[in-house]
Amino acid sequence: MDSQLTITSIMEHADKIHGASEIVSFTADNPEHRYSYKDAFQRTRQLANALKDLQFKRGDRIATLAWNDYRHFELYYAISCSGQICHTINPRLFPEQIEFIINHAEDKLIFTDPMFLPLLEALKSRLPTVEGYVVLTSEQNMPDCTLENVHCYETFISEHSEEFDWPSLDENTASSMCYTSGTTGNPKGVVYSHRSTVLHSLVGSLPDAMNLSGSDVIMPIVPMFHVNAWGTSYSAPLVGAKLVFPGPKMADGETLTKLINTEKVNYSLGVPTVWLALVEYLNASGNSVDSLKSVVVGGAACPLSLMHAMDKYGIYMHVGWGMTEMSPLGSYNKPMEWMKDVSEEEKDAYRVRAGRMVYGVEMKIVDDNNKALPWDGIASGLLMVKGPWVCNGYFKLEDQPALDKDGWFDTGDMASIDEYGYVVITDRVKDVIKSGGEWISSIEVENAAMAHDQVQEAAVIGVPHPKWTERPLLIVIPSEGADPDKHEIIKSLEGKIAKWWIPEDCVFVEEIPHTATGKISKKDLRERFKEYAY
């Protein structure tokens, strides 16, 4: 049958079949909010009625500036299933980037958490397309503000009917959008469709990916403003899993531990920094998180030392690789049956990789001449992808094609792939270190340095060298209370990485800059060390 793959179909299925599954949220105005999918979709219909009164057109962009919680969840469905585009904005970006994004997307209405009101008040005179604001709170917690045409969310939806006749949408209708963090140039808008979202949710839930089911309790720590919380806002309702939303307390080990233990969370998602914060809290407090069995870590390479630290608490870390332009899932790391017989070292060598591509995503690695390289685990080249949830262009940038003439999307990542399809991300192309004409993987050097117990965080950048053009420089934040010796740290890399990859120098810093999506900002580090000379 010609049945359309729409987000509405996920919502209607979850409403009918998984109505009793719970959503628990920590929000700024609710230390513990608890309701069922049934309640969520009833409020979603009230919200859809409220939006209908404002007479938006198909494809109009309605923005959110919000943490992970139940109101944000309602917005995801009400906006997309009404035929508008749910535009999630990352509040951690610089105000100038947020201003650029709102204006570029031509957002009509902004739903915001109360804590971002000062940001919007500062920008309001420069946001010509924005007709109004809705603050995600109740009347008694509504702060004073200077914005015009501002509503309180609970009042905005309260008077409306709980019945709503959802429009029949073509599956290729645009549903949501997210801007890349724009480490080079302005952020670019990636638009997802109902179809791409449904297919991504189906494949993301498979056993060799996130393995989601109605018996799971999932806590997405990755923000809902960052690639749809890696798809869990859709895949959890698809399978009927209980959802636990940590609100603004994303990297707060104590809150996360409390939520995991009280709600019996068994699966969670986040960037390495989040897991580092959790382990540090568990180590310091003596607490444990017994229900949490596995997590996916992505967004940046995960050091093996962190995986081992999480192993001690019974939590297995699976690496996922992807990007905003891929909805985000590209590959996922699950052990294969034959691996049960290999040594622990070999198992470790596999588990830190970016995993194997999931069904739907095609990959190839190419050299400088766009010639495909072999999958031998050695050749490293530019990673190109194709698939039904890979973007084919950026919003309003028709003059900047995202695909090559054969329809491949350039990920900007360097990778090798082995005979079993395991991908190793060696670097971002723009961060690659080329020494004496050969590449050094900064990610592998960083991971090797992170294995030292006096290293809290490590970053490696290329700096100019008179003989080798470029050499790696190791930049380290020492562990709390440690006073490491740089020669000893450099020596500890021997045997872990190729000899000629070992940096000649290591500098200690108090802070390593991160981007708005939690990745080490190599651009800022290169700027900071631009005078450094080998």
Interaction between residue 363 and ligand ADP (CB under 6 A): no
C-alpha distances out from residue 163 to 45, 215, 368, Å: 6, 29, 57
Query: What b/e readout covers 491-508, taking b as 16+ CB neighbours within 10 angstroms?
Result: ebbeebbeeebbbeebee
The residue within the footprint of ligand ADP, chosen from 51, 174, 315, 354 (CB under 6 A), is 354
For residues 144 and 399, give the distance between their C-alpha atoms in angstroms, rounded to a whole number.
43
Contact, 245 vs 69, CB < 8 A?
A: yes
If binding is defined by CB under 6 A, does position 300 make contact with ligand ADP?
A: yes
- Going from the C-alpha of 292 to that of each of 72, 232, 266, 277, the distances in angstroms are 24, 17, 4, 15
Contact between 228 and ligand ADP by CB under 6 A: the answer reads no
Is 361 near ligand ADP (CB under 6 A)?
Answer: no
Residue 425 interacts with ligand ADP (CB under 6 A): yes or no:
yes
- C-beta of 415: minimal distance to ligand ADP in Å? 9
Return the residue of 189, 328, 360, 381 that touches ligand ADP, per CB under 6 A: 328
The catalytic residue positions are 180, 325, 434, 439
Window of 40-48, 238-246, 293-301, 503-511 that interacts with ligand ADP by CB under 6 A: 293-301
Q: What is the 3-state composition of the chain as percent helix, strand, coil, each rounded to the nearest 5?
A: 30, 25, 40
Binding residues for ligand ADP, how many (CB under 6 A)? 21
Residue 78: name the closest of 166, 189, 151 by CA: 166
- Nearest 5°: the CA angle 297, 302, 306 is 95
Is residue 181 at the binding interface for ligand ADP, with CB under 6 A as the rule?
Answer: yes
Q: How far is the CB of 404 from ligand ADP (least distance, A)?
A: 17
Q: Is the dihedral of CA 211, 212, 213, 219 positive or negative?
A: positive
What are the structure tokens assigned to 524, written together? Answer: 């800022």
Stretch that binds ligand ADP, among 199-207, 316-324, 396-404, 500-508 (CB under 6 A): 316-324
Interface pattern 385-424 for ligand ADP (x via CB under 6 A): --------------------------xxx-----------
Q: Which lies closer to ligand ADP via its Cβ, residue 114 or residue 322? A: 322
Asked if residue 322 binds ligand ADP (CB under 6 A), the reply is yes
Strand positions, DSSP E, 333-398: 355-357, 362-366, 381-386
- The minimum distance between CB 364 and ligand ADP, in angstroms, equals 16
The nearest distance, CB 518 to ligand ADP, in angstroms, is 8
Binding mask 245-274 for ligand ADP (x = CB under 6 A): ------------------------------
Let me know if 293 is exposed, middle or buried by CB neighbors in 10 A (0-12, 13-18, 19+): middle
> CB-hemisphere CA count at 13 Å for 28?
18
Return the residue of 169, 319, 361, 391 that touches ligand ADP, per CB under 6 A.
319
Binding span for ligand ADP by CB under 6 A among 298-306, 392-400, 476-484, 502-510: 298-306
User: Does 72 sit near ligand ADP (CB under 6 A)?
Assistant: no
Instruction: Count CB-CB contacts under 10 A for residue 292.
Output: 24
One character per residue 1-20, x = contact with ligand ADP (rule: CB under 6 A): --------------------
Contact 238, 211 (CB under 8 A): no
Q: Does 298 bind ligand ADP (CB under 6 A)?
A: yes
- In 451-493, where does DSSP find H-type helix? 486-491
Amino acid at 175: S
Element (H, E) at 267: strand 267-270
Considering only 202, 277, 323, 390, the residue that binds ligand ADP (CB under 6 A) is 323
DSSP H or E run through 105: helix 95-105
Which region, judged by CB under 6 A, interacts with ligand ADP, from 159-167, 232-240, 260-268, 317-325?
317-325
Q: Does 315 bind ligand ADP (CB under 6 A)?
A: no
Query: Counting contacts by CB under 6 A, is residue 517 touching ligand ADP?
Result: yes
Do residues 231 and 296 make contact, with C-beta atoms less than 8 angstroms apart?
Answer: no
| Residue whose CB is less far from ligand ADP, 48 or 450 | 450
Stretch touching ligand ADP by CB under 6 A, among 112-120, 285-293, 320-328, 434-442: 320-328
> Which one, 15 or 413, has the nearer CB to ligand ADP?
413
Cβ-based nearer residue to ligand ADP, 160 or 226: 226
The reply to whether 357 sits near ligand ADP by the rule CB under 6 A is no
Q: How far is CA 103 from CA 7, 123, 124, in A?
A: 26, 11, 11
Nearest to 358 by CA among 382, 379, 334: 334
* Beta carbons within 8 Å of 261's beta carbon, 6+ residues apart: 287, 289, 290, 291
- 447 touches ligand ADP by CB under 6 A: no
CB-based contacts of 353, cutoff 8 Å, min separation 6: 319, 333, 422, 423, 424
Site residues (vs ligand ADP, CB under 6 A): 180-181, 226-227, 298-301, 319, 321-324, 328, 354, 411-413, 425, 428, 517
